[in-house]
A and B are shown apart, each in its own frame.
Chain A
Amino acid sequence: MVQLDYPVWLRIEHWVNVLFVTLLIRSGIEILGTHPKLYWRDDSRPGTEWARFTRKTMPTDKLYDTLDEEESYSSIVSLPGHKHLGMGRHWHFVTVMGWILTGIVYYILLFATGQWHRYIPYSWSIFSDAWNDVLTYLSFKLPALLPGQPLDAVQKLAYAFVIFILAPFQILTGAAQSPAVEAHFPWYVRLWGGRQGARSLHFFGLLAFIGFIAVHLMMVGLWGWPQLNALMIFGGVRDLGWALAASLVIIAAIVLVHVAATVWSLKSPRMVQRALGFVISQGRLFFLRPMASRQNYSPSQLSPEHRVNGKPPDSDDYKVMAVHNFVSWKLEVGGLVENPMTFTLADLRALGEKQTQRVLHNCVQGWSSIGEWSGVPFRNVVEMVKPLPQARHICFLTMQDTGRDEPAAEGEGQFYEVIDMSLARHPQCLLAYEMNGRPLPIKHGAPLRLRIENQVGFKMAKWIERIEFISDYKGIGDGMGGWREDNVYYDKDVEV
């Protein structure tokens, strides 16, 4: 049997893993803080949550939206802290990419070198041995190690659980929260009890990791911090003083990376958005972009109350239009097209048979609802206006002025969002003028909103007044591809 020692690759992987897991935990807490409530049901109905991590109580006598529910956590527990969801997402996703790659390399090397013997049990007797070890620990003694192995039986089982069950579980429940995955494989999200079930289970996974880390550190302390760190740093025990010092230096370095990531994110969020966003986008576009939505929930699954984000336009023009059922509203479609067009609501309704889809809505904050949307498939409009070859993106301009309509929001100006041309051709990309069989409610974007079911909710512009086909979005706003991208540093491509 191979000698179960501490080869260089195992030592490097261990410390890289420490860095990634701690970054994942802190950035995950940042993401949780933006909607600090956990549910089991996909409608995320207020009051049905099973857990809250906030001191806020929302008013019952005035309108609020889910942005008002955001919690600002300290940078000590979250990355970067202080209500920066955009930054938290960038760190979480870039870290998870690194973590998965690290894990794949770890698995390969584990099995290629025979080191898998250290974790994978191959005798039922390990369970009785583990039980005896538990009794020994409860007697405040240290059990014997397994013969020829670096771990005792209960440790071996614990590591096997974390490496082969808990880590994949976190990746799978994380993937179940991706709108693209949910839209393309609706059965997959049902496997976890729905979107909110996956989110709650992902949270339990987080707790399990925190628990494992706490016990792991305690065990290292009990068995001998310098000795075990000597093995995990130098591969053997020679000078315990050096091992202790080296372990403290490595921990300090990891803390330093956390501090640097936090300060960088708080001081230069645009730079973080560009740098990390570039890496994440490559993965998103390659793996998730091809996943078109093919959802069709049953009418009985529709949420009784569909949650909402963003406040409606508070202008006289909009109110006058709303009072008159938007008969005077017009949608201009232009830019880099052969055939610029203007549509009234009646024109849109007359554009062939309306398409209806019952789908899961994923807010970037973490809540979800299921709604039925009806309207014009966007690809029909695209075919009518005939985009020029240089048109690569589509900009949706809305009637919402965030400075006026959402004074608490960070940033101001006309709300807009940009999508890539490829998304416009997805079969469930819809210009919706109805919701749940009725005219689109004002709070959900009347008279017209966009539905792109494999994206996070904020891309689905509400209160649309103009659609522009463009070759580049760098000259619009701050050039990041949307109002939220410009002002709160979200990513432009949000398949997850």
Chain B
Amino acid sequence: MSAVLRWTGSGKLISFYRYFSFNVPRVTTASGIVLLLGVGAIRLYWLTGGFLVSNFPVYLTACVVLLVIAALLASAAMVVGRRPGLVRIGWALGSVVSAASIAMYVVSRILGLPGLPQLVQRWDYALGTFSMALAAMYLMLHFSVLTGMNVAYPERRQWHD
């Protein structure tokens, strides 16, 4: 495997991220929370009648409520967590919320959701696109934390050199 990575040059490409590291834990966490709360707020807006369709199926209402609660819990864990383990769980939960949001949106536009066939091919919905962008940015930010490019509050870089 390593020979393939070396031979194709893809090893260098994959490890390119190691050239980037930042020491802005508060900005990282604040950005993560803003993105996640943004995703949650848009779902909440949809629940309160701001969606393309008014007749939200019950199962979808439950899903959206769960996503909003999960987004709030994840944000709380990220910001009030003193234990690194709790903070990591918060970030991971945020990624689950973001990934689920994107998956639900994409599936609803490609395959359709039960009770909402009219959403198929309805990509022309600005708030939906914006919501996907927020969720995607959160996933990228979490990826940067997992790879060590960023550190999230309350951790700090221990750069001594």
Contacts and interface: CB of A to CB of B under 8 A. Distances in A.
Interface residues of A, number: 23
B159 A139 contact: no
Contacts of B130: 138
B120 interface: no
Contacts of B124: 139-141
A423 to B, nearest CB: 35
Interface of B: 18-24, 123-127, 129-130, 157, 159-161
A59 B23 contact: no
Contacts, number: 51
A136 to B, nearest CB: 8
B19 A54 contact: yes
11 contacts: A46-B160, A46-B161, A47-B160, A50-B22, A51-B20, A52-B21, A52-B23, A52-B159, A55-B19, A58-B161, A134-B126
Contact of B22 (A51, A54, A64): A51
A135 B23 contact: no
Given A47-B160, A47-B161, A59-B161, A53 B19 contact: yes
Nearest to B15: A55
Contacts of A55: 18-19
Contacts of A141: 124
Most chain A CB atoms below 10 A, which of B20, B21, B161: B161
A50 B124 CA distance: 40
A50 B157 CA distance: 9
A46 B159 contact: yes
A97 B55 CA distance: 62
A298 to B, nearest CB: 28
Contacts of B127: 138
Nearest to B23: A50
Interface of A: 36, 46-47, 49-55, 57-60, 64, 71, 134-136, 138-141
4 smallest CB-CB distances across A and B, nearest first, come from: A58-B161, A138-B126, A139-B124, A47-B159
Contacts of B23: 49-52
Contacts of A57: 161
B126 A135 contact: yes
A139 B130 CA distance: 9
B138 to A, nearest CB: 17
Contacts of A51: 20-24
B159 A49 contact: yes
Contacts of B24: 50-51
A71 B19 CA distance: 10
A138 B129 contact: yes
B125 to A, nearest CB: 6
B18 to A, nearest CB: 5
Nearest to A54: B19
A57 B157 CA distance: 13
B161 A60 contact: yes
Contacts of B21: 51-52
Most chain B CB atoms below 10 A, which of A49, A60, A134, A139: A139
A336 B86 CA distance: 74
Contacts of A71: 19
A60 B160 contact: yes
Given A51-B23, A134-B126, A139-B126, 15 more contacts: A46-B161, A49-B159, A50-B22, A50-B23, A52-B23, A52-B159, A54-B19, A55-B18, A57-B161, A59-B161, A64-B161, A136-B126, A138-B126, A138-B129, A139-B129
A59 B160 CA distance: 9
Nearest to B24: A50
B129 A140 contact: yes
B159 to A, nearest CB: 4
Nearest to A55: B18
Contacts of B19: 36, 53-55, 71
Contacts of B160: 46-47, 60
Contacts of A136: 126
A139 B125 contact: yes
A164 B47 CA distance: 43
A134 B129 CA distance: 11
A53 B20 CA distance: 5
A47 B161 CA distance: 6
Contacts of A52: 20-23, 159
A55 B18 CA distance: 6
Contacts of B157: 47
Contacts of A46: 159-161
A144 B39 CA distance: 29
Most chain B CB atoms below 10 A, which of A51, A52, A64: A52
B50 to A, nearest CB: 14
A142 B84 CA distance: 45
A49 B21 CA distance: 10
A46 B23 CA distance: 13
A58 B159 CA distance: 10
A91 B109 CA distance: 50
B133 to A, nearest CB: 8
A152 to B, nearest CB: 15
A36 to B, nearest CB: 8
A141 B129 CA distance: 12
Contacts of B18: 55
Nearest to A33: B19
A53 B124 CA distance: 39
Contact of B123 (A49, A59, A140): A140
A57 B159 CA distance: 9
A269 to B, nearest CB: 25
